[in-house]
Structure 1
Amino acid sequence: MTLEQNTIFYAFSKGFCRVLLTLYNRLHIKNVPALPEGRPVIVASNHNSNLDPVVVGVAYPRKLKYLAKEELFKVPILSYIIRHLGAIPVSRQDEHKAGVILRTLLEILSRGEDILIFPEGSRSFDGKLQPMEGGVAMLASHAKAPILPVCVKGTFEAMPRGSSVPKPKK
């Protein structure tokens, strides 16, 4: 797939998801940031639901790359979609090797691409903010990239952990 097709697919998917989330979940976006030109950004968000990467991706004005567990890439259609929407597979073994993840994220940032990370590591079990894993500040320091903190609300109610289909919650 060419870069142009990938850009078209990304834009189409982002637009489609935005319309769907707006109609079905009454998506409301506040405080869209002014982003620095020519510098990659680390977007750090809370993580309540499988909807979070989609919601942040829809709200964020530029393309994002993010890490996703490799099990998601075993489903052919899902794999095709998330790969072209910026997901990069990470194995459960790699999750425990901070160096592997750090190198991957630094490489993405060095190419000038923005990344989405969830400092909590995994989704919340109760919708509340979980303890943060280390690394965000270190990553920002090494990459000399600003951190954009993001708060996503309502995704836990719409699609809590264990759900496979979102509910029409705001």
Structure 2
Amino acid sequence: MYEVVKFAAAPLAHAMCRPHITGATHVPRSGPAILAANHLSVLDSFLLPALLPRHVTFTAKNEYFDGNPVSGFFMRLGGSLPIDRESAHAAQAMLDAAADLLERGELFGIHPEGTRSPDGRLYRGKVGVAWLALRTGAPVLPVALSGTEKVLPLGSKVPRPARIGIAIGAPLRFEGDHTKARDRRRVTDEIMAAIQKLSGQEYVPAYAASVKAANGQS
């Protein structure tokens, strides 16, 4: 099903988004890797798999599946893993499933911010990405998306044409203990710094979800 969807979606994504992609050669032709990307749009988790040559499985919050018919359609067809952000058990189950994918030599995509940026800035990363990198030993590829928020603006249910950018950085490898909070925080901060260097976004040392909650956003 994924290949069928990709065959149909890739030409549409190219025509609608006119993507400018740099660093695609950093994506390994085989073997595991974690794509850690900033998050500007509901469609980020769909566009990357559609535009990259290898199968990429992304996480996506439950609301993307149930709250918006457009994003839900694309997420299901693209094989994204749903995550309940309010449940620690569900989040760990998702990470365990992602670790299984990586250990099978697949690509896994994650947005360390955990939710879309409320204002285009880059927010503090959650440590799940570091848990995965340290647990599996898979390299992390920092990814900077730009312009995707113009394809499906907040509150819109109909995608619109807009040019996007995708910059993929060189693979990063980390050492440490995935069970130690200090190592998870250190690695996550290094990954976010690499994303920020690619994206040029202003960095905010706070969680995006907390900022959204304070402002009454979802």
Aligned mates of 1:155, 1:12 — CA distance in 2: 21
Corresponding residue for 1:145? 138
Q: Is 1:39 aligned to 2:34, yes or no?
A: no
2-side partners of 1:47 and 1:148: how far apart? 15
| Residue 20 of structure 1, CA deviation | 3.2
The TM-score normalised by the length of structure 2 is 0.63
Offset, 1:145: 0.5
Query: Partner of 2:58 in structure 1?
Result: 66
Contact 2:70 2:158 in 1 (8 A): no
What percent identity do the matched residue pairs reach? 36
Partner of 1:56: 48
Query: Which of structures 1 and 2 has the larger relative contact order (alpha carbons within 8 angstroms, sep 6+)?
Result: 1
Give secondary structure in 2 for the equivalent of 1:89: strand
Taking a change above 3 Å as real, the CA distance of residues 77 and 45 of structure 1, as seen in their structure-2 partners, is closer
- Code of the residue aligned with 1:104 in structure 2: it is A
> For this pair of structures, how many residues does the alignment match?
162
Instruction: Quote the RMSD (CA, aligned, Å).
Output: 2.6
Residue 84 of structure 1 is matched in structure 2 by 77
- Shift, 1:61, TM fit: 1.8
Q: Which amino acid aligns with 2:44?
A: D
Please name the residue that 2:151 is paired with: 158
Alpha-carbon distance, 1:160 to partner: 3.1
Q: Counterpart in 2 of 1:19? A: 14
Give runs of aligned pairs for residues 115-126 of structure 1, distance below 5 A. 115-126=108-119
CA apart distance, 1:119: 0.5
Cα distance per residue 1:16-42 (max 9 Å; x no partner): 333333xxx332212212433542110
Offset at residue 85 of structure 1 (A): 1.3
Q: Quick check: 77-86 or 141-150, which moved more?
A: 77-86
Deviation at 1:95, TM superposition (A): 5.7
Gapped runs of 5+ residues in structure 2? 164-218
Whole-Å separation in 2 of the counterparts to 1:168 and 1:77: 15
Aligned to 1:3: none
Aligned-pair distance for 1:87?
A: 0.9
Q: Give me the TM-score of the superposition, normalised by structure 1.
A: 0.78
Counterpart code for 1:145: A
Q: In 1, distance between residues paired with 2:159 and 2:123? A: 22
- Superimposed CA distance per residue, residues 119-155 of structure 1 (whole angstroms, 9 cap, x where no aligned partner): 1100011111112111222211111111111100111
1:9 and 2:4 are equivalent in the alignment: yes
